[in-house]
């Protein structure tokens, strides 16, 4: 397929690389041009303007947040220049409200729109092991399924309304944050009674909580190693805020989400925003008067 790709951060660059490996013709654009260099060396073509990506069979956008999507995708002329037959696949983690707005904007222009946020860190993206949450008109999703197959290990269909995929993504990240907070509080309790974080989490992640979230982030908490970040804490705060907004819009109370937001905000205020969001555990440790 002839594919445009916008947004070459640690996730986007890995995903784009796998599309090239799968034989797709790739055209790439990034707000800072440097990340495109390796992809160009692998066979991609660098673009001068995001509007140029909205041609061919599909365009994938993998941008950091709502503001970036608005700045890049909704800037003057980008969607107006889009080929009518192409599918826009937005794989970014954005608000439910913006997802609904994008559906209306694309429909007005006669453009196909698919929401496909992912579960997975850059390591999974490089290995093409992402779980992809796909929602949109069935025909549009089917057309871009070969792209999902090149980037992920499984596609989870969520029906014709794109915002459903964004709601699932935010709900999932809310649960991950809750798991990290729980491990932070549990290890603070253990340390206060002479049990190391490593010993406590070794037991708990091999017995009661053997899932990948507990094991991945538990290992980081046990070692006290939060850099380099697989997922930056400031982005976790962004996603929890988006989950709370989605709850407000539908009158869904998320009381623990509010606690999680405040603790993440405390971590950012204490200088941990660029660290992996497993560093949230240190908020609980500091609160208990525990250092290091």
Residue 21 is a catalytic residue: no
Q: Which two tokens stand for residue 28?
A: 């790439």
Token pair of 279, please?
A: 């560093």
C-alpha–C-alpha distance, residues 145 and 130, integer Å:
14
Nearest-5° angle of CA 55, CA 110, CA 64?
Answer: 60
Could you tell me the sign of the dihedral formed by the alpha carbons of 61, 63, 65, 70, in that order? Answer: negative
What 8-state DSSP symbol labels residue 59? E
Q: How far apart are CA 57 and CA 31, in angstroms?
A: 22
Determine which one of 84, 129, 169, 238 is catalytic.
Answer: 169
The radius of gyration of the chain's CA atoms, rounded to the nearest angstrom, is 20
Which sequence positions are flagged as catalytic?
A: 169
């Amino acid at each position: 397929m002839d594919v445009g790709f916008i947004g070459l951060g640690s996730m986007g660059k890995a995903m784009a690389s796998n599309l090239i490996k799968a034989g797709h013709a790739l055209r790439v654009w990034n707000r800072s041009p440097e990340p495109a260099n390796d992809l160009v060396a692998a066979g991609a073509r660098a673009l001068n303007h995001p509007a140029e990506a909205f041609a061919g069979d599909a365009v994938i956008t993998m941008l950091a947040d709502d503001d970036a999507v608005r700045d890049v995708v909704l800037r003057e002329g980008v969607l107006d220049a889009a080929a009518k037959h192409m599918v826009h696949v937005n794989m970014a983690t954005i608000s439910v409200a913006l997802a609904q707005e994008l559906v209306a904007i694309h429909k007005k222009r006669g453009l196909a729109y698919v929401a496909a946020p992912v579960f997975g860190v850059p390591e999974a993206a490089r290995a093409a092991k992402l779980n992809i949450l796909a929602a949109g008109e069935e025909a549009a999703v089917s057309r871009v399924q070969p792209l999902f197959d090149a980037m992920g290990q499984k596609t989870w269909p969520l029906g014709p309304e794109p915002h459903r995929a964004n709601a699932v993504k935010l709900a999932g990240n809310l649960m991950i944050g809750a798991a990290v907070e729980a491990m932070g509080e549990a290890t603070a309790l253990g340390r206060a009674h002479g049990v190391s974080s490593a010993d406590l989490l070794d037991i708990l992640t091999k017995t009661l909580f053997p899932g990948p979230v507990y094991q991945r982030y538990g290992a980081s908490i046990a070692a006290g190693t939060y850099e380099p970040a697989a997922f930056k804490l400031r982005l976790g705060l962004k996603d929890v805020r988006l989950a709370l907004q989605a709850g407000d819009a539908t009158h869904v109370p998320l009381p623990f989400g509010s606690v999680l937001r405040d603790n993440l905000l405390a971590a950012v205020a204490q200088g941990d925003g660029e660290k992996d969001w497993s560093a949230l555990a240190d908020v609980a440790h500091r609160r208990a008067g525990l250092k290091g």
